[in-house]
């Protein structure tokens, strides 16, 4: 077959175009499909998740959420932190969310009709928080009964407030707090700002403010077993992303998530 100059140029153009097609396809596989392939490999569906979580999880969940998003491209996790009793009220009022993590099993048990089966993902213990350097020389729970000492506690309907009451009642220590706060972070803030001399907070919360507070451990003999905080996590039945929510709750019990929780001072479930 002979080709005119024009025909030869046309054939050359067709051949060049044919050679470029597979190259373009390869480029598409390396870029456009990469994120989707990673998301599929993660085993979890992509979704924007809203997780209601206890205030004491604020710092550690921000870290955990970032790790989860990196491992699950296409998924974004938004946390709403508050006292567990406030979170329960939000659930009852139908707040749009996908999962719930409380600082006690009692609150979670009261939401059985609203959640899936809960799983305890971590535990925590209380400490006495004092101002940096412990200026009032607080050494033990008994010192909190000193009327000259400004002590702040969480309200009794808050998990940390209930745990505090259990510990103090078990030791027959009567404390008259100058205020009762809606969550553990509010207690920590009062002590850190010098508005109170001491307060009872979770060990992990005190660890987030070592530049502002000191932490005094409470001996095991004084820390009743039922005052060890348990953190159950569960999906919400009203979630529009039930599969993705379940995947996140399951992930919280994985070795990687447990390592993050342990690094923040939480105990194994």
For residues 58-80, give the mean pLDDT: 96
Position 33 in a domain = no
Interval 88-109: pLDDT, tens: 999 999 999 999 999 999 999 9
Position 1 in a domain = no
Residue 46 vs residue 141, higher pLDDT: 141
Position 95 in a domain = yes
User: Bridge-partner residues for 124, per DSSP?
Assistant: 229
Beta strands of the chain (E only): which ranges?
A: 48-54, 76-82, 99-101, 119-124, 126-131, 151-154, 179-181, 198-202, 213-217, 229-235
Position 76 in a domain = yes
Position 21 in a domain = no
Q: Count the Cβ atoms, other than its own, within 10 Å of residue 193.
A: 11
Tell me the average pLDDT of the chain. 86
Identify the pLDDT of residue 49.
Answer: 97
Task: Give the three-state DSSP class for 51.
Answer: strand
Is there a contact between 262 and 268 (Cβ–Cβ < 8 Å)? yes
Q: Which of 37-46, 114-123, 140-149 has the lowest mean pLDDT?
A: 37-46
Residues 133 and 215 in one domain: yes
Rounded to whole angstroms, the Cα distance separating 186 from 96 reads 25
Residues 82 and 102 in one domain: yes
Position 134 in a domain = yes
Is there a contact between 154 and 238 (Cβ–Cβ < 8 Å)? no
Helices 58-71 + 255-263 axis angle, to 10: 150
pLDDT at 151 over 90: yes
Residues 118 and 139 in one domain: no
> What token pair was written down for 250?
């399951």
Position 27 in a domain = no
Q: What residues have CB less than 8 Å from 239, skipping those under 6 apart?
A: 97, 98, 99, 245
> What token pair was written down for 25?
């396809």
Residues 196 and 140 in one domain: yes
Q: Which of 22-31, 153-162, 233-242 has the lowest mean pLDDT?
A: 22-31
For residues 189-193, give the mean pLDDT: 97
Give how many domains the chain has, as a whole number: 2
Identify the pLDDT of residue 43.
Answer: 57
Q: What is the number of alpha carbons within 13 Å of residue 169 lying toward its C-beta? A: 9
pLDDT band at 224 (very low <50, low <70, confident <90, very high): low
Residues 217 and 235 in one domain: no
Residues 135 and 220 in one domain: yes
Question: For residue 194, what is the domain's CATH number?
Answer: 3.40.190.10
> What token pair was written down for 59?
């710092």
Is there a contact between 181 and 82 (Cβ–Cβ < 8 Å)? no
Q: Supply the range of the domain harboring residue 251.
A: 44-124+229-263
Task: Give the three-state DSSP class for 192.
Answer: helix
Nearest to residue 196, comparing CAs of 153, 229, 160? Answer: 153
Position 190 in a domain = yes
Residues 191 and 63 in one domain: no
Residues 251 and 119 in one domain: yes
Residue 19 vs residue 45, higher pLDDT: 45
Residues 215 and 131 in one domain: yes
Q: What residues have CB less than 8 Å from 228, skipping those under 6 apart?
A: 123, 124, 125, 267
Residues 239 and 115 in one domain: yes
pLDDT at 237 over 90: yes
Residues 67 and 148 in one domain: no
Angstrom CA distances, 63 to 5, 184, 264, stand at 66, 19, 10
Identify the pLDDT of residue 27.
Answer: 38
């Amino acid at each position: 077959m002979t080709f005119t100059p024009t025909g030869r140029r046309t054939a050359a153009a067709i051949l060049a175009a044919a050679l470029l097609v597979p190259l373009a396809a390869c480029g598409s596989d390396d870029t456009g499909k990469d994120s989707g392939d990673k998301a599929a490999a993660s085993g979890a569906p992509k979704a924007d998740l809203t997780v209601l979580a206890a205030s004491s999880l604020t710092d550690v969940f921000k870290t955990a959420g970032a790790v989860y998003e990196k491992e699950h491209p296409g998924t974004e996790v938004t946390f709403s932190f508050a006292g567990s009793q406030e979170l329960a009220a939000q659930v009852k009022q139908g707040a749009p969310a996908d999962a719930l993590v409380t600082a006690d099993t009692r609150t979670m048990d009261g939401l059985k009709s609203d959640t899936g089966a809960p799983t305890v993902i971590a535990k925590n213990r209380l400490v006495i928080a004092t101002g940096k350097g412990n200026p009032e020389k607080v050494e033990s729970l008994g010192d909190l009964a000193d009327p000259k000492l400004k002590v702040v506690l969480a309200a009794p309907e808050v998990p940390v407030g209930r745990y505090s009451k259990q510990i103090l009642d078990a030791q027959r220590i009567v404390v008259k707090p100058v205020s009762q706060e809606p969550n553990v972070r509010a207690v920590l803030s009062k002590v850190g700002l010098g508005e109170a001399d001491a307060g009872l907070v979770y060990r992990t919360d005190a660890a987030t403010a070592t530049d502002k507070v000191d932490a005094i451990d409470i001996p095991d003999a004084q820390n009743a077993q039922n005052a060890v905080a348990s953190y159950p996590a569960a999906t919400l039945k009203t979630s529009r992303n039930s599969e993705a929510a379940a995947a996140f709750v399951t992930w919280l019990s994985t070795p990687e998530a447990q390592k993050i929780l342990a690094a923040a001072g939480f105990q194994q479930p």
